[in-house]
Amino acid sequence: MADKLIIVESPAKANTIKKFLGGNTKVVASMGHIRDLPKSKLGVNIENDFEPEYINIRGKGDLIKSLKKDAKGAKKVYLATDPDREGEAIAWHLAHILEIPEDSVCRVTFNEITKETVQESMKRPRKIDMNLTNAQQARRVLDRIVGYKISPLLWKKVKPGLSAGRVQSVAVKLIVDRENEIRNFIPEEYWNIYATLLDKNTEKEFEAKFYGESGKKIELHKKEDVDKILADIENEKYVVSNVKKGEKKRTPAPPFTTSTMQQEASRKLGFTLKKTMSVAQGLYEGVKIPEKGSVGLITYMRTDSTRISEEARAAAKEEITKTYGDEYYENRYYKKNSEAQDAHEGIRPTYIYLTPDKIKSSLTTDQYKLYRLIYNRFLASQMATAVYDTINVDIDVDKYNFKASGQTLKFKGFMTLYVEGNDNEQEDEDNTSIPSLSIGQEVIKRKLESKQSFTEPPARYTEASLVKELEAKGIGRPSTYSPIITTILERRYVEKEKKQLVPTELGEVVNKLLTENFEDIINVEFTAKIEDEFDEVASGKEEWKQVLRDFYPQFEQEVEKVDKELEHVKLEDEVTDVICDKCGRNMVVKIGRYGKFLACPGYPECKNVKPFVVTIDEPCPVCGGKVQVRKTKRGKNYYICEHNPESCNYISWNKPKVGEEWKPEENEKDKKITKKVKAKKKTKKTKK
Q: Say which residue, 688 or 338, is predicted with more confidence.
A: 338
The answer to whether the CB of 170 falls within 8 A of the CB of 523 is yes
> pLDDT grade, residue 138 (50/70/90)?
very high
For residue 480, give the amino acid letter.
Answer: T
pLDDT in tens, 30-67: 999 999 999 999 999 999 999 999 999 999 999 999 99
3-state class of 280 per DSSP? helix
Q: Is the pLDDT of residue 682 over 90?
A: no
How far apart are the C-alpha atoms of 380 and 255, rounded to whole Å?
Answer: 8
pLDDT in tens, 91-126: 999 999 999 998 999 999 999 999 999 999 999 999
3-state class of 355 per DSSP? coil
Q: Which pLDDT does position 677 carry in this prediction?
A: 55
> pLDDT grade, residue 688 (50/70/90)?
very low
The secondary structure of residue 267, as a DSSP letter, is: I
The secondary structure of residue 266, as a DSSP letter, is: I
Q: Which pLDDT does position 636 carry in this prediction?
A: 72
Taking alpha carbons only, the member of 480, 485, 482 closest to residue 535 is 480
Outline where DSSP puts E strands in 251-343. 287-289, 293-295
Instruction: Report in angstroms the alpha-carbon separations of 551 from 145, 211, 461, 470, 541.
Output: 10, 55, 31, 22, 17
3-state class of 35 per DSSP? strand
Q: Which residues are catalytic?
A: 300
Q: What is the 3-state secondary structure (H, E, C) of 389-447?
A: EEEEEEEEECCEEEEEEEEEEEECHHHHCCCCCCCCCCCCCCCECCCCCCCCCEEEEEE
Strands lying side by side in the sheet with 595-599: 574-579, 586-592, 595-599, 609-611
Q: What is the DSSP string of 529-578?
A: HHHHHHHHHHTTSS-HHHHHHHHHHHHHHHHHHHHHHHHT---PPEEEEE
> pLDDT grade, residue 201 (50/70/90)?
very high
The pairing of beta strand 216-217 with beta strand 204-213: antiparallel
Q: Which pLDDT does position 324 carry in this prediction?
A: 95
pLDDT in tens, 661-674: 787 765 555 656 65
The pairing of beta strand 25-29 with beta strand 35-36: unpaired
3-state class of 323 per DSSP? helix
How far apart are the C-alpha atoms of 589 and 606, rounded to whole Å?
Answer: 15
The answer to whether the CB of 348 falls within 8 A of the CB of 374 is yes
How far apart are the C-alpha atoms of 534 and 528, rounded to whole Å?
Answer: 10
pLDDT in tens, 484-516: 999 999 888 999 888 899 998 889 989 998 998
Taking alpha carbons only, the member of 486, 13, 8 closest to residue 281 is 13
What angle in degrees, to the nearest 10, is found between the helix axes of 365-381 and 273-285? 80
CB atoms within 10 A of CB 369: 18
What number is the average pLDDT over the span 643-649?
A: 86
How much is the mean pLDDT over the chain? 89
Report the percent of the chain where pLDDT is more than 70.
92
Q: Say which residue, 423 or 91, is predicted with more confidence.
A: 91
CB atoms within 10 A of CB 394: 18
- Nearest 5°: phi and psi at 626? -75, 140
pLDDT in tens, 310-339: 999 999 999 999 999 999 999 888 876 655
Q: Which pLDDT does position 614 carry in this prediction?
A: 81
Q: What per-residue string of b and e applies to 491-519 under the rule 16 or more CB within 10 Å gives b? A: bbbbbeeebbbbbbebbbbbbebbbebbe
Q: Which pLDDT does position 613 carry in this prediction?
A: 82
Q: What is the 3-state secondary structure (H, E, C) of 223-248?
A: HHHHHHHHHHCCCCCEEEEEEEEEEE
Q: Is the pLDDT of residue 561 over 80?
A: yes
For residue 246, give the amino acid letter.
Answer: G
How far apart are the C-alpha atoms of 403 and 482, rounded to whole Å?
Answer: 45
What number is the average pLDDT over the span 600-613?
A: 87
Number of H helices, E strands in the chain: 17, 26
How far apart are the C-alpha atoms of 138 and 128, rounded to whole Å?
Answer: 17
Q: How far is CA 253 from the centre of its chain?
A: 18
Q: Which pLDDT does position 141 carry in this prediction?
A: 97
Instruction: Report in angstroms the alpha-carbon separations of 97 from 48, 60, 76, 92, 106.
Output: 22, 12, 15, 9, 14
What number is the average pLDDT over the span 216-239?
A: 95
How far apart are the C-alpha atoms of 70 and 471, rounded to whole Å?
Answer: 42
3-state class of 7 per DSSP? strand
> pLDDT grade, residue 196 (50/70/90)?
very high
> pLDDT grade, residue 571 (50/70/90)?
low
3-state class of 181 per DSSP? helix
pLDDT in tens, 451-479: 999 999 999 999 999 999 999 998 888 88
pLDDT in tens, 142-192: 999 999 999 998 888 777 778 888 899 999 999 999 999 999 999 999 999
How far apart are the C-alpha atoms of 396 and 420, rounded to whole Å?
Answer: 37
Q: Is the pLDDT of residue 427 over 50?
A: no
